[in-house]
Amino acid sequence: METKNKNSIKIFYTETKSDYELLDTGEGQKLERFGPYTFARPYENAVWNKTLDKKEWEKADGVFIAGKAGAKPTWKMKTKLPKNWVMSHRDVKFYATPTSFRHLSFFPEQASHWDFINTEIKNAGRRIKFLNLFGYTGVASLSALSADADVTHIDASKESLTKLKENQELSGFSDKPLRILLDDCLKFIEKEAKRGNKYDAVIMDPPKFGRGPKGETWKIEESLPKLLQGVKNILSDKPLFVIVTSYSTDSSSLNLGHALREVMADCAGTVEQGEMCVIEKSHGRAISMAHTAVWKK
């Protein structure tokens, strides 16, 4: 049976050299290099054997131990690390910091989106208003700033917004137009619609479950349709792109593609859906870390 093109799955990854490498995966773990340091973290989808020798894994500067039987998840550091250290992708700089959620304050698999955002905005031939919802520490926002967009960044975490400001200063973008707001994303877009504010490009990275700054409840299965429709309501007359990503294990890129395609049905353009991947150095495999769908004019 022939597969229709609109339902095909794309692999999203970048070949740009950076300070990050996925060294190996297997047996429920991934081994990564973040600048000068290496870390072993859980990756439950790695249902295959490790390629590198056990000794290479034992060299990791830090290991994240998932909590079992009520135990609290924690990092076990074999090397004394600084509070943070500088990472970079193209001309954007940002701090890496181990967090209690096993992340290191950014998601390296999103590099393909950072490149896409930067290139599309630079090639637009006009000033672009860019909106980042659930923006975290803001590498996507800084990639848009690098392309001279007017950027609005929304997140419900004060800590994440503080890190964004530090990354903005680190990148030398303090004089660029970045509006940073602590807000619930659904409430924000409702207010923007009433104000008549419009955006040309939007990226959103909603969690499976979360809380807004005033205790607002977010459940992706209930809230994502409202969010997508809300975003559609605040798009300009000449929208450039809309990106949605999801780390929810019971989601899929096909589902995201269907939802985005339905919302953008009356806008001329195309939707691609697929897996956000990193190429594994030890084996050359594309390792999926998240789902995504992209509407592009």
Residue 10 placed within a domain: no
Residue 280 placed within a domain: yes
User: Residue 237 and residue 164: Cα distance in Å, rounded?
Assistant: 29
Lookup: tokens for 280: 């594994």
Q: What does the pLDDT look like over 75-91, one tens digit per residue?
A: 999 999 999 999 999 99
Residues 62/64/65/71 CA torsion (nearest 10 deg): 120
Q: Which domain does 199 fall in, by range?
A: 84-296
Report whether 231 contacts 278 (CB < 8 A): no
What spatial distance separates the first Cα and last Cα of the chain, rounded to whole Å? 29
Residue 171 placed within a domain: yes
Weakest-pLDDT range from 19-28, 182-191, 243-252: 243-252
Residue 183's alpha-carbon distances to 39, 188, 214, in angstroms, are: 33, 6, 8
Whole-model pTM?
0.93
Is it the case that residue 273 has pLDDT exceeding 70? yes
User: Residue 233 and residue 198: Cα distance in Å, rounded?
Assistant: 8
Mean pLDDT, residues 146-154 taken together: 98
Question: What percent of the chain lies above the pLDDT cut of 70?
Answer: 93
What is the pLDDT confidence band of residue 96, given thresholds at 50, 70 and 90? very high
Mean pLDDT, residues 40-46 taken together: 95
Residue 27 placed within a domain: no
Report whether 208 contacts 247 (CB < 8 A): yes
Residue 65 placed within a domain: no
CATH code for position 98? 3.40.50.150
Mean pLDDT, residues 233-250 taken together: 93
Residue 237 placed within a domain: yes
| Predicted local distance difference test score (pLDDT) of residue 69 | 62
Length of the chain: 297
- As for how many domains the chain has, the answer is 1
Residue 136 placed within a domain: yes
Residue 158 placed within a domain: yes
Is it the case that residue 1 has pLDDT exceeding 50? no
